């Protein structure tokens, strides 16, 4: 048995949470493999609206096991708040959620360091969510981090050493931190965390594979925010491409089966950084309003633009995507003309590969496609798609070289059409 991987192909906010929720009935286990509470996976069903930050999006379905993998960084306070909200919804979360002992903990001082570092950058700030994720991954790589499993091994001693090191760094940055209140809540979160099944997730996942269980690996953020291959330095602090599932869960590359790549019918980005197809006109504002393009975690306005096939091809290549899933196609229902960027012009040359860096002289080269001018939000079958929409799908499949197997026509779980 091989595991399947689901990840975003743009700059995040593609709709991964909804798709994981829809696919979960076909799997026994759903596992998050990287990121932290900077994720904002939104799900809507039965008139309710949920946003998941650290907990896998399979949590609402048919009692499948959900796993927070070793590649995730976990804030005990935010996790406790999120988990208790789910408990109020009637979910037996302590039974169906397992947490890797090797996942790293976000300390109160990590959040303060995040804010101080961003402040230091001034106008060159990255646009971090301020959740302490970057400093936590920094400690992980520099071998100074605290892990979930440390809770049971000289924890107080390890915590105090990490805290003192962080306070020294904060003072060097001109800060005078007061963390007693933050610390009290954090230790409440640690006690709550102890109530869960804390596991060696690499053994758990590999045993499940050996037993013939079906596993879906859920990514966070988007491929263009990958720390190695994204629009550096305006990226997240982890590997968001398919390879991140291997290191973030302890799974060998030859165990990967299908790779689902999710993208919007247009493109968005939150925070700073290059965005070749960004629209600064009324069209961009219209897409933002119709698509409700505001960050699920931060509430920030998302920058909006036409679909970027150069960046999409790059992301598909990096992860070996086998099946594409197009989200929010309904947002474009009212447009007379849809545009798609198939190449860039840089220094007078036509470029079809994503460049090392996006410079000011880059100009997107667009193909215009006739809009479908049809409200598709009530559609339940691909046979209902208008010709113009089918033409748009065919154009994308030709340019991307991968079939589009699922199309979303609205935010609800039911507004999902599986193509045959």
Kindly report, residue by residue over 125-157, the tens digit of the pLDDT: 655 667 899 999 999 999 999 999 999 999 999
Catalytic residue among 13, 75, 226, 330: 13
Structure tokens at 394: 């065919």
Strands (E), 309-376: 323-327, 337-346, 349-351, 363-370
Q: In whole angstroms, how large is the CA radius of gyration of the chain?
A: 21
Residue whose entry in the numeric block shows the structure tokens 């079809």? 352
- The span from the CA of 84 to the CA of 86, in Å, is 5
Global pTM reads 0.92
Mean pLDDT check: name the lowest of 167-171, 303-307, 311-315, 399-403: 167-171
End-to-end CA distance of the chain: 23
β-pair partners for 30: 66, 216
pLDDT tens, position by position, 31-85: 999 998 876 656 555 666 667 788 988 888 768 999 999 999 999 999 999 999 8
Q: pLDDT confidence of 294, banded at 50, 70, 90?
A: confident
Question: Residues with Cβ < 8 Å from 152, sequence gap 6 or more?
Answer: none
At residue 90's C-alpha, the angle toward residues 406 and 31, to 5°, is: 45
Based on the residue annotation, tell me whether 13 is a catalytic residue of this protein.
Answer: yes
Q: What is the mean pLDDT of residues 192-214?
A: 97
Q: pLDDT confidence of 210, banded at 50, 70, 90?
A: very high
- The span from the CA of 224 to the CA of 243, in Å, is 14
Is beta strand 363-370 parallel, antiparallel or unpaired with respect to 404-408? unpaired
pLDDT tens, position by position, 347-377: 999 999 999 999 989 999 999 999 999 999 9
β-pair partners for 326: 263, 407
């Amino acid at each position: 048995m091989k595991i399947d991987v689901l990840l975003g192909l743009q700059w995040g906010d593609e709709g991964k949470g909804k798709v994981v929720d829809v696919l979960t009935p076909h799997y026994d286990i759903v596992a998050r493999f990287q990121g932290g509470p900077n994720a904002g996976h939104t799900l809507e069903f039965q008139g309710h609206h949920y946003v998941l930050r650290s907990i896998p999006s399979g949590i609402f379905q048919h009692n499948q096991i959900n796993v927070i993998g070793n590649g995730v960084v976990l804030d005990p306070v935010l996790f406790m708040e999120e988990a208790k909200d789910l408990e109020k919804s009637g979910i037996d979360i302590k039974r169906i959620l397992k947490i890797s002992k090797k996942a790293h903990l976000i300390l109160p001082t990590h959040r303060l360091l995040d804010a101080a570092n961003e402040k230091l950058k001034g106008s060159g700030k990255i646009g971090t969510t301020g959740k302490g994720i970057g400093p936590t991954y920094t400690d992980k790589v520099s071998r100074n981090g605290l892990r979930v499993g440390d809770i049971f091994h000289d924890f107080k001693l390890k915590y105090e050493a990490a805290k003192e090191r962080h306070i020294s760094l904060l003072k060097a940055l001109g800060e005078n931190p007061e963390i007693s209140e933050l610390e009290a809540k954090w230790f409440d979160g640690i006690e709550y965390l102890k109530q869960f099944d804390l596991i060696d997730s690499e053994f758990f996942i590999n045993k499940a594979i050996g037993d013939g269980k079906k596993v879906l690996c859920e990514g966070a953020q988007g491929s263009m925010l990958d720390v190695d291959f994204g629009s550096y330095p305006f990226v997240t602090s982890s590997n968001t491409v398919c390879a991140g599932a291997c290191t973030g869960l302890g799974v060998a590359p030859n165990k990967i089966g299908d790779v689902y790549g999710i993208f919007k019918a247009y493109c968005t980005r939150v925070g700073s950084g290059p965005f070749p197809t960004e629209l600064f006109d009324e069209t961009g504002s219209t897409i933002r309003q119709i698509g409700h393009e505001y960050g699920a975690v931060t509430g920030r306005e998302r920058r909006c633009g036409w679909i970027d096939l150069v960046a999409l091809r790059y992301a598909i290549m990096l992860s070996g995507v086998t099946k594409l899933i197009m989200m929010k196609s309904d947002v474009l229902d009212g447009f007379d003309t849809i545009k798609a960027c198939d190449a860039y012009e840089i220094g007078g040359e036509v470029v079809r590969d994503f460049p090392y860096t996006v410079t000011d002289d880059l100009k997107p080269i667009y193909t215009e496609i006739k809009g479908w001018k049809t409200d598709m939000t009530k559609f339940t079958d691909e046979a209902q798609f208008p010709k113009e929409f089918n033409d748009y799908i065919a154009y994308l499949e030709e340019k991307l070289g991968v079939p589009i197997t699922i199309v979303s026509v609205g935010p609800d779980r039911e507004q999902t059409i599986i193509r045959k």
